[in-house]
Structure 1
């Protein structure tokens, strides 16, 4: 009896069977006006019930084994397409039609996720799909529901697997791998994220080598030339062990969304990738976040485990609606970062007045460190600027959009007046532009 109750709880009527049943009911109604159809209706009813019983026996009673599992990454990469696979093993002696309904984490807001496939007898198959998280944190999966139907497709049996799985979502480590390979490849200069190493006296001595056409004659080593009886030159490389800090503004200005991600998330992803490039360039990477106070301070370093410290610090960083305190940022940097360093400040200024309120603190930071302010273009305004205006209201909107876009360029000029470097970028180009600026600074030897 318990087994029968269990079967009844897991049995479902397919749409095909439902339509057949409704057709028979219609036939019974019509037979009220045409009595000769009554016997036909009963005959079809008996046939229908017979096939339903046969389908029930095939799915529930016959010897079989049916297995399924959900395979997810150990952690999701925020803002990227992450692969998820559902593996199915059909142990029935006949091909089955399966419908997969996976209860995805609520963050995806997906309520009609279904996959359909026919699996041959004794075979296995895999359903592959991608999930793109836009928030960091824990993603809890629900039940993996598999509805199995025989070739008759009248009834279906539900199997439940993989309940309660949890996958944490971290800052974009997929971008970290992608840009790391590109930044250190010898063949990808055309991507614009690698600067050719400059030879010059502002950099650390690397080695003495034979002169070749194109070498700077100012680097000729006359003592080595006399010993070797051929021209020898000194070769220099970028200075190493320089400290680079990423300062992330997590105030209200970083709450603005773009393609599902907030500006804060873009800054976090960029920080993770840039930190990896910095450590592989033999420099020291550190970070901090700030709003009303400075938090998540990680001292600059390049030892084993530094990237893990930065990633764990970025995992739980969330924005808030407070006005960021740049005065507190200036005080903390002056107190805790005593060596001259490169400070990459991720923030956002929409107006020149907004910059001028914080300019005294930025100038104070720039007195002791090399400061690069990274802020964002408003891509929605760009769309409005390039849109054709058809009426007075649209003309007015376009003029206002152009005014705000112009103020962004004024901000760049204002920062340049005080020797503060800046990067004005679109959110989707943030990572590559940040790497470019770091490599440019290293190539110019201005840190």
Structure 2
């Protein structure tokens, strides 16, 4: 039944009540009642004589991209031989908490139409869609026919793979000119061992292999090939400080999305991409390599990363880096420091890591505090709150200066600008030949 039917029925009821006082209206009311009954039956006949009625299908992507607008398509075909009004109600995953979703449209006879709507997931994991409900009615609009299509489906929500294409262009534009640099790099005498050969005049005596020399009774030297790619590791702090949300996404998810994009850029720039996470211990390790399946491996690993709400142990991070990463590497550390005290507790470990590797500490601005700062203070309490907010914002800048004082590269960024700022920093490091 549609609202129109009940409005007409109520109007007739009122007319019957009025006819109690005005007898001449009773005949009109009866005539209108039988007319309504006839139209009602005819409307039911039109809607239900066609067994097929409306056909509908939901078209889902293979996977969703976290933090991005994802398109969902609904294909609807009108099998009636007349113009039909349809209302589409899709049973969306519980994560979105959307209870008023509907699409209304009018379809001509035998018309096929595709409807597209956007969804923005903010949590990685499985998203379960329910049934697809279609409510159809004729131009009379007295009766509604409900058809339910079994469309239950599960779609995994992965880190933001849609950003890969978005940021690909940065890796291939001539960004080096922005830094005023034009440098040809030839890196030799590295860990990239090639072979042992006989010593010839002009070979570097520092590369003499004394064990091989003793066995052959002639001078033998180690030969190295020029290093063509360097390891770049994304290190994600998954402790409780990374659970802070901004624009529905946690800092951890921002870091995961940035890791996926920067890994893709690193591989396209012929470097080796790897990653690992840490909290109480180091986990989710992907060794830095250049191979065709590397991006798929990183994507699948990032999909399963979750915070454990623990205090992150930077001493364990230092020990693990020292033990497992032998070659000098670029380490992009995604973490967050709110105060100088928090930084000073971990600074000795950051300094130790930076001695053997190129460390870039990436942490976040509190954009909500910045928004609060722009509001006008009208009371003493608000002035006090703004003063405290200024202190926290200023302390973030002090953290950058403190890291710089100890020779540690850093990025202080708003969460939404994390990906592009990380890419720019990587390109700057490559251009300046710091690694």
Alpha-carbon distance in 2 for matches of 1:270, 1:194: 24
- Output one character per residue of 1:398-443: Cα deviation in whole Å (capped at 9) or x when no partner: 1111110110011011111111100000001000000011000000
Offset of residue 202 of structure 1: 4.2
Q: Summarize the Cα distance change of 1:319–1:299 in structure 2 as closer, same or farther, 3 Å threshold.
A: same
Contact in 1 for aligned 2:58/2:151 (Cα 8 Å): no
Alpha-carbon distance in 1 for matches of 2:262, 2:432: 18
Structure 2 residue 418 is the aligned partner of structure 1 residue 440:
no
1:373 to 331, 355, 361: 361
Alpha-carbon distance in 2 for matches of 1:94, 1:148: 12
Structure 1 residue ranges without an equivalent (≥5): 1-12, 206-237
Counterpart position of 1:415? 403
Alpha-carbon distance in 2 for matches of 1:122, 1:14: 23
Q: Summarize the Cα distance change of 1:307–1:197 in structure 2 as closer, same or farther, 3 Å threshold.
A: farther
Structure 2 residue 104 is the aligned partner of structure 1 residue 109:
no
1:359 to 347, 364, 374: 347
Number of residues of Structure 1 aligned to a counterpart in Structure 2? 398
Contact in 1 for aligned 2:183/2:431 (Cα 8 Å): no
Counterpart position of 2:110? 122
Counterpart position of 2:321? 333
Alpha-carbon distance in 2 for matches of 1:194, 1:386: 36
1:165 to 148, 153, 158: 153
TM-score (norm 2): 0.88
Structure 2 residue ranges without an equivalent (≥5): 189-225
Counterpart position of 1:230? none
5 Å matches for 1:367-406?
A: 367-406=355-394
Alpha-carbon distance in 2 for matches of 1:252, 1:65: 53
Contact in 1 for aligned 2:122/2:248 (Cα 8 Å): yes
Alpha-carbon distance in 2 for matches of 1:90, 1:194: 58
Structure 2 residue 6 is the aligned partner of structure 1 residue 36:
no
**Deviates further, 361-370 or 155-164:** 155-164
1:245 to 214, 233, 237: 233
Structure 2 residue matching 1:298: 3-state secondary structure: strand
Q: Summarize the Cα distance change of 1:243–1:197 in structure 2 as closer, same or farther, 3 Å threshold.
A: farther
Counterpart position of 1:58? 46
Counterpart position of 2:272? 284
Offset of residue 161 of structure 1: 1.7
Structure 2 residue matching 1:247: 3-state secondary structure: strand
Contact in 1 for aligned 2:92/2:129 (Cα 8 Å): yes
Q: Summarize the Cα distance change of 1:141–1:194 in structure 2 as closer, same or farther, 3 Å threshold.
A: farther
Offset of residue 318 of structure 1: 1.4
**Deviates further, 243-252 or 56-65:** 56-65
Structure 1 residue matching 2:27: 3-state secondary structure: helix
Offset of residue 172 of structure 1: 0.4
Offset of residue 204 of structure 1: 5.4
2:293 to 281, 300, 305: 305
5 Å matches for 1:81-160?
A: 81-160=69-148
Counterpart position of 2:415? 427
TM-score (norm 1): 0.86
Structure 1 residue matching 2:86: 3-state secondary structure: strand
- Output one character per residue of 1:117-176: Cα deviation in whole Å (capped at 9) or x when no partner: 101101111111100000111111111101111111111111112421111110001111
Contact in 2 for aligned 1:283/1:302 (Cα 8 Å): yes
Alpha-carbon distance in 2 for matches of 1:355, 1:70: 50
Q: Summarize the Cα distance change of 1:425–1:63 in structure 2 as closer, same or farther, 3 Å threshold.
A: closer
Alpha-carbon distance in 2 for matches of 1:40, 1:319: 72
Offset of residue 195 of structure 1: 5.6
Offset of residue 64 of structure 1: 5.1
Alpha-carbon distance in 2 for matches of 1:141, 1:195: 47
Counterpart position of 2:165? 177
Alpha-carbon distance in 2 for matches of 1:356, 1:63: 73
Counterpart position of 1:6? none
Structure 2 residue 302 is the aligned partner of structure 1 residue 314:
yes
Offset of residue 311 of structure 1: 0.3
Offset of residue 255 of structure 1: 0.8
Structure 2 residue 64 is the aligned partner of structure 1 residue 76:
yes
Offset of residue 264 of structure 1: 0.5
**Deviates further, 64-73 or 250-259:** 64-73
Q: Summarize the Cα distance change of 1:33–1:166 in structure 2 as closer, same or farther, 3 Å threshold.
A: same
Structure 1 residue matching 2:76: 3-state secondary structure: strand
1:200 to 168, 179, 183: 183
Q: Summarize the Cα distance change of 1:378–1:295 in structure 2 as closer, same or farther, 3 Å threshold.
A: same
